[in-house]
Amino acid sequence: MTQTLSNIREKLNDKLGKKVKLTAYEPRNLVIEHTGVLTQTYPSVFIIDLEDKPNSIDRVSYNYSDILTGYIELQFNN
């Protein structure tokens, strides 16, 4: 089944409050990994509150298109 932005949003709505591992593929072959909790979804973006680490950011937000294009990957713990 092909993924669409609305399908991705529906799947993420079902996972609200779940722990997630986020892998972001940045330019110049830089890979960033975070763990946190999917806390909110909006029409265009979703928000992940990150686990506490000293001197780091508290939350990140991404577009649903970032998942569609492979810029980020999400892995949820069951």
DSSP 46-74: EEEEEPP-TTS-SEEEEEHHHHHTTSEEE
State the Cα–Cα distance between residues 45 and 51, nearest whole angstrom: 20
User: 38 burial class (0-12, 13-18, 19+ CB within 10 angstroms)?
Assistant: buried
Residue 57 has pLDDT above 80, yes or no: no
Average pLDDT score over residue span 27-55: 91
Phi-psi region of 8 (alpha: psi -120 to 50; beta: other; left: phi over 0): alpha
Which 3 state secondary structure label does DSSP give 70?
coil
Classified by CATH at the fold level, domain 5-76 comes out as SH3 type barrels. (2.30.30)
Please give the mean pLDDT across all residues of the chain.
Answer: 91
Q: Which of 37, 78, 76, 43 is nearest to 60 (CA)?
A: 37
Residue 75 has pLDDT above 90, yes or no: yes
**Better-scored residue on pLDDT, 32 or 57:** 32
The pLDDT score that the predictor gives to residue 1 is 52
